[in-house]
Amino acid sequence: MGNAASNESHYDKAYASSNLIKALFKLHLSYDQLSKTRRNLTAINNILKTPSPLSILDYGFGHGTFLYRVPRIHEVSGCELSSQAIRNIGRLFKILRRDIALFRQEEFLLPVYQKKYDLIYCSHVLEHVEGDRDLLTAFHNNLCEHGRLLLNVPINEVWRDPKHVREYCSVSTQQQLESAGFVIESAIEADRWTAYILDKEYVSRSLPRPLIRVLRLFLAPLSISLLDGLERMLPDKYRFQQLIVVARKS
C-alpha cells in the first residue's frame, strides 16, 4: 500500500477502538459502509444467486459488511492489512456463527499462493495501493477460469483522502483492468449523496457535524432505488463518487 507500515498502523489504531456495539452498527447502520456494499451486491446479484457454492475472497474486508451479507451457501474468505481488523471480525463472526477464513493480505500476494477463487471482491482498496497494476495481476492469477472481479473505486473525489495514492476515472480503470487480462462485463457510476456529505463535512463545512451524522443515519437504511430518487434533489455539481466494475478473467 501507499506506505504499508504507516497504513497498517493507521488502520490498527482505527479498528482498535471497535467493540461489539460499534461492529454491529457498522454492519447495519453505517451509511459509509452500506452505500458501497449494497451497490456492490446489486452489481453481482446474479452471480451470488447461483445454486452452486462459489469460492469468494473479500480483499480488504474492513468492517466485514460484505462478508456478513454473502449467502451462506458460498465458501467465503477475507484478507486484510490490519491484524486488528482480522481479530475484530474473527470475534464478531464467531458470535454470529459465520464460518469465514481470515488471513493477512501479504499471504495472498506470495508467489506460492495456490488458492483459486470464483469471485474476488475489492471495494475502495485499490486507491490505497502503490502497485495497483501488480494487484490486479494477482487478482487475475488467483481467479478460476472465467472467474470474476468486483472492483469499486472512488471517482470525482470531492475531498481527497490523504491515504489515497492516485485518482481514478472510468476510462483509466477499465484500461487498467483490460491490460491485466480482464474483460469488462459492466461498469456503473453511482452515489451522489457521498459527494454532498463530504462537501458539507470537509470542504464547505456548511453543515454542523451533528446534523451530518443525522443525515448519514437517515440515509443508511434506505434502498438504492429510494436513494437514487432522492439524489434528484441535489445540485448538479455533486457528481457520482463510486465506479463499480464487474470484470471477467479472459
pLDDT at 85 over 90: yes
Q: Quick one: DSSP state of residue 155?
A: B
144 neighbors 55 (Cβ within 8 angstroms): yes
CA distance 25 to 29: 5
Q: How large a percentage of the chain has pLDDT more than 90?
A: 87
Q: For residue 6, what pLDDT band results from cuts at 50, 70 and 90?
A: low
Tell whether 54 is covered by a domain: yes
Tell whether 132 is covered by a domain: yes
Tell whether 203 is covered by a domain: no
Tell whether 232 is covered by a domain: no
Residues 6+ apart with CB under 8 A from 63: 18, 23, 26, 27, 30, 33, 85, 89
Q: Show the cell assigned to 176.
A: 487498467
Q: Is the pTM of this model over 0.85?
A: yes
pLDDT tens digits, one per residue of 132-141 = 999 999 999 9
Nearest partner of 124 among 247, 249, 250, 1, judged by Cα: 1
Tell whether 75 is covered by a domain: yes
Nearest partner of 17 among 59, 63, 72, judged by Cα: 63
Tell whether 73 is covered by a domain: yes
CA distance 175 to 169: 10
Q: Show the cell assigned to 136.
A: 490486479
Residues 6+ apart with CB under 8 A from 103: 77, 78, 79, 86
Q: What is the total count of domains within the chain?
A: 1
Q: Show the cell assigned to 127.
A: 486507491
Task: Give the pLDDT confidence score for residue 16 in this predicted structure.
Answer: 78
pLDDT at 190 over 60: yes
Tell whether 212 is covered by a domain: no
Tell whether 211 is covered by a domain: no
Q: Show the cell assigned to 54.
A: 462459489
**Placement of cell 451486491 in the chain:** 41
Q: CATH number of the domain at 143, please.
A: 3.40.50.150
Domain enclosing residue 58, as ranges = 4-191+238-249
